[in-house]
Structure 1
Amino acid sequence: MAKKKTNESKHEFSNTKEALNHQVANFTVLWTKLHNYHWYVKGSNFFSLHTKFEELYNSSSEYVDELAERLLAIGGEPVATMKESLKESCIKEGKYNLSAEEMVKDLTKDFEKLSKELIKSKTLAEEANDDRTADLFIGINTEIEKNNWMLKSFLGNDVE
């Protein structure tokens, strides 16, 4: 399994397999966090956020499967437990008792981290002449950027 790096926002990978495995971990933790927020969101924006969080956790689930299957196809071993995922991921678990706005702000920060890492991972895959993995990273990052823009728009671009 890939080793945890010391700086959560500056993961460096020596190969494409490590980058893929790290993203499996990220999206596994994000999937759980989004469920937390989906279940515990309250307030006047409940209906819109409850629906959006469900959409996002469904997408995260698809990403986990796509990333893990790509990793297996190139001879890697994806993390497959929450313990491994929490150790490897730059995404932290969701917290209880957050306001709807705090949940959205937290997710925008996570999406910023993911986007930066996906760009680095794409470059690594390209350098390894692994266009299929690079394309996978590009596609996921395109969706992350779009959803982050939507979440920031929800906040009125009031993001720290």
Structure 2
Amino acid sequence: MSNINTIGLHEGSASQLAEKLNELLANYQIFYMNVRGYHWNVKGPQFFELHAKFEELYTDLLTKVDEVAERILTLGHQPVHAYSDYVTMSRIAEDKNVTDGEACVRGTLQGFQTLIELQRELLSLASDADDEGTAAQAGDYIREQEKTAWMLNAYLG
């Protein structure tokens, strides 16, 4: 019996990658709901600007949720799909009932910082496993989210 999966990766490496991707998926799901909550609940003088920005961000996050889950499946593993698991696996905590615009932006910035950190860990694992598909996905996300983090930080002054 072969120790290589369908896409040519060693099963042990694919399993490690899937585990890290499931952790990333959990963080994306919790962060998605946080940003969705910011969109719904933000109040104040920057309402229109922030409401639109949060919608842009949560729409992109939802796309990434699907892409991360599909990468787990591509590796031959099952994505976690219960919110109870997401809450226990996520480094990002649920952020409930936040209405202040600045607090919403700070929560969004912190969420992106956590995702970037996790994706760097994933990138390292993927590189060690010669998994170009996962490495490319993580690298693309990091590049995009570093710019978003810079902009959110600039917004906060």
Structure 2 length normalisation: TM-score? 0.87
* Aligned pairs (5 A) from 1:105-124: 105-124=106-125
Q: Which amino acid aligns with 2:81?
A: A
What code does the residue aligned with 1:139 have? D
- Matched letter for residue 71 of structure 1: I
Task: Out of 144-153 and 63-72, give the one that drifted further.
Answer: 144-153
Higher alpha-carbon Rg = 2
CA distance in 1, matches of 2:80, 2:141: 19
In structure 1, stretches of 5+ residues that fail to align are 1-13
Which consecutive aligned stretches of 4+ in structure 1 deviate over 3 angstroms post-superposition? none
Gaps of 5+ in 2: 1-14
Residue deviations 1:90-135 (CA, integer Å, cap 9, x gap): 1111221441101111221221121111111101011011010010
C-alpha change, 1:83 and 1:51, in structure 2 (3 Å) is: same
Counterpart in the other structure of 1:10: none
Give a deviation string over 1:43-83, Cα, whole Å, max 9, x none.
Answer: 11001110111111011101110010010011111111211
* Change in CA separation of 1:36 and 1:127 when aligned onto 2, cut-off 3 Å: same
| Whole-angstrom CA distance in 1 between matches of 2:130 and 2:51 | 40
Which of the pair is proportionally richer in helix? 2
TM-score (normalizing by structure 1): 0.85
The residue aligned with 1:144 is 145
Identity of aligned residues (%): 38
Task: Provide the residue aligned with 1:3 in structure 2.
Answer: none
Question: How far, CA to CA, are the matches of 1:100 and 1:146 in structure 2?
Answer: 20
CA distance in 1, matches of 2:84, 2:143: 28
The alpha-carbon distance between structure 1 residues 27 and 97, as it changes in their structure 2 partners (threshold 3 A), is closer
